[in-house]
């Protein structure tokens, strides 16, 4: 509606339009933020342990993996303690997986909102991923506490973490837009993604180290951007150097393609939302 309201001509009109755009963007950003905080709050408002679920989940999973691989199969994670190692991988992976899983139903679960009035629908999956980012921050806090408890050496390169996370967020959003749009058309997208993410988890170096894998398989695993991202996130924290820097660009390229592709797909399916639901 912003475009249509400015039928003034000339330079003045252009500026007007730009100001309108920027103001409009600000409002949509606020809507995204409001929806995200709605999401976070509802998730924890009426559950017994509240926000602790965001913390308990990765802890229990880390403990299970620690028991199975560390105690039963004697897989070494040295010099990092089992719990810290598994927690590292799972904290970052869970942000990705949970982000996808809540994006998938973000459009189809808000039919009432869609019927009401126009707003850029992309706001919905974006907000749900943003909400999972808040969860992620809490589990990151737990991860840090465990690092302190076990006195694990952390490198200065950890400061690169936000940049790598940014790549991860854009990648998550790209996939999130795709599956959110497709889920409107095909409702079992949720189940499919649940299955797919489980397979994806085991084929990414989340609960094992890349260096523990045969060389030929390593390349294959690094082509998967999530594999590269998780491996890098662990690298900058624990070893202080990125083991496979050349794959960083592969991951960045993937992220660009997936994000733009996801957005394009979403925009393409968007006009059908009102009719299908």
Partner 1 sequence: MAAIRVEQVWKQFLLKKDRADSVGHLLLRMIPQPHSKRPKSEPFWALQDITIDMAEGTSFGIVGNNGSGKSTLLKILTRTMTPTRGSIQVSGRVSALIELGAGFHPDFTGRENVYLNGSILGIGRKAIDQKMEEIIEFADIRPFIDTSVKYYSSGMQARLGFAVATSVDPEILIVDEVLAVGDESFQQRCMDRIFAMKRGGTNILLVSHNLGAIERLMDQAVWINQGIMQKIGNPRDVVFAYRQSMIDQNEGRSQTETVSEVAETQGGPLELRDAYVEVDGHRVDSMQSGTALDLITEVDNVTGTALSGHFSYTVRRPDGLEIVSLSSMLDGPPMTFQRGLGRVVVHLPELYLTSGEYEVDAASFDGNGRRLAEWRALIRFSVQAMQTTPGLLVLPHQWHIR
Q: Where on the chain is the footprint of partner 1 (CB under 8 A)? A: 1, 4-5, 7, 24, 26-27, 30-31, 34-35, 38, 41-42, 45-46, 110, 112-119, 185-189, 192, 271, 274-275
**What radius of gyration do the chain's Cα atoms show?**
21
Shortest distance (Å) from residue 227 CB to partner 1: 25
Considering the complex, state which of residue 123 and residue 229 has its C-beta at the smaller distance from partner 1.
Answer: 123
Considering the complex, state which of residue 129 and residue 189 has its C-beta at the smaller distance from partner 1.
Answer: 189
Q: For residue 117, what is the DSSP state?
A: -
Shortest distance (Å) from residue 20 CB to partner 1: 11
How many alpha carbons fall within 13 Å on the CB side of residue 235? 17
Query: Could you tell me which residues come within 8 angstroms of residue 192 by beta carbon, excluding any fewer than 6 positions away?
Result: none
For CA atoms 106, 199, 211, 246, the dihedral sign is negative
Shortest distance (Å) from residue 179 CB to partner 1: 11
- Written as six digits, the tokens of 62 are 């880390």
Q: How far apart are CA 151 and CA 148, in angstroms?
A: 5
Shortest distance (Å) from residue 244 CB to partner 1: 34
Inter-residue contact 13 to 6 (CB < 8 Å): yes
Shortest distance (Å) from residue 60 CB to partner 1: 26
Inter-residue contact 256 to 263 (CB < 8 Å): no
Considering the complex, state which of residue 45 and residue 241 has its C-beta at the smaller distance from partner 1.
Answer: 45
Query: Could you tell me which residues come within 8 angstroms of residue 271 by beta carbon, excluding any fewer than 6 positions away?
Result: none
Q: What number of other Cβ atoms are within 10 A of residue 134's Cβ?
A: 16
Considering the complex, state which of residue 5 and residue 76 has its C-beta at the smaller distance from partner 1.
Answer: 5
Shortest distance (Å) from residue 205 CB to partner 1: 28
Considering the complex, state which of residue 74 and residue 116 has its C-beta at the smaller distance from partner 1.
Answer: 116
Q: How far apart are CA 13 and CA 11, in angstroms?
A: 5
Q: How far apart are CA 10 and CA 174, in angstroms?
A: 37
Inter-residue contact 212 to 129 (CB < 8 Å): no
Shortest distance (Å) from residue 149 CB to partner 1: 36
Considering the complex, state which of residue 62 and residue 180 has its C-beta at the smaller distance from partner 1.
Answer: 180
Shortest distance (Å) from residue 68 CB to partner 1: 32
Nearest Cα to Cα of residue 205 among 224, 186, 191: 224
Considering the complex, state which of residue 2 and residue 154 has its C-beta at the smaller distance from partner 1.
Answer: 2
Considering the complex, state which of residue 113 and residue 250 has its C-beta at the smaller distance from partner 1.
Answer: 113
């Amino acid at each position: 509606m912003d475009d249509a309201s400015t039928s003034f001509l000339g330079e003045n009109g252009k500026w007007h339009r730009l100001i309108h755009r920027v103001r409009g963007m600000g409002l949509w950003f606020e809507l995204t933020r409001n929806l995200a905080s709605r999401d976070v709050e509802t998730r924890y408002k009426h559950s017994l342990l509240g926000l602790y679920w965001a913390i308990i989940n990765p802890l229990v999973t880390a403990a299970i993996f620690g028991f199975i691989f560390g105690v039963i199969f004697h897989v070494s994670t040295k010099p990092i303690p089992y719990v810290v190692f598994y927690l590292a991988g799972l904290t970052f992976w869970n942000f990705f997986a949970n982000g996808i899983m809540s994006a998938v139903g973000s459009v189809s679960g808000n039919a009432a909102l869609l019927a009401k009035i126009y707003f850029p629908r992309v706001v919905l999956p974006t907000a749900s991923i943003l909400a999972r980012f808040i969860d992620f921050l809490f589990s990151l806090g737990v991860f840090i506490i465990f690092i302190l408890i076990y006195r694990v050496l952390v490198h200065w390169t950890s400061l690169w973490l936000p940049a790598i996370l940014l790549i991860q967020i854009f990648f998550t959003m790209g996939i999130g837009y795709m599956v959110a749009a497709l889920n409107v058309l095909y409702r079992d997208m949720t189940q499919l993604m649940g299955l797919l993410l489980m397979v994806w988890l085991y084929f990414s170096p989340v609960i094992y180290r890349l260096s523990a894998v045969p060389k030929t398989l390593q390349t294959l695993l690094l082509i998967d951007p999530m594999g590269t991202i998780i491996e890098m996130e662990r690298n900058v924290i624990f070893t202080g150097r990125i083991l496979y820097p050349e794959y960083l660009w592969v991951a960045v390229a993937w992220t660009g393609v997936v994000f733009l592709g996801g957005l394009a797909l979403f925009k393409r399916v968007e006009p059908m939302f009102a009719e299908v639901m």
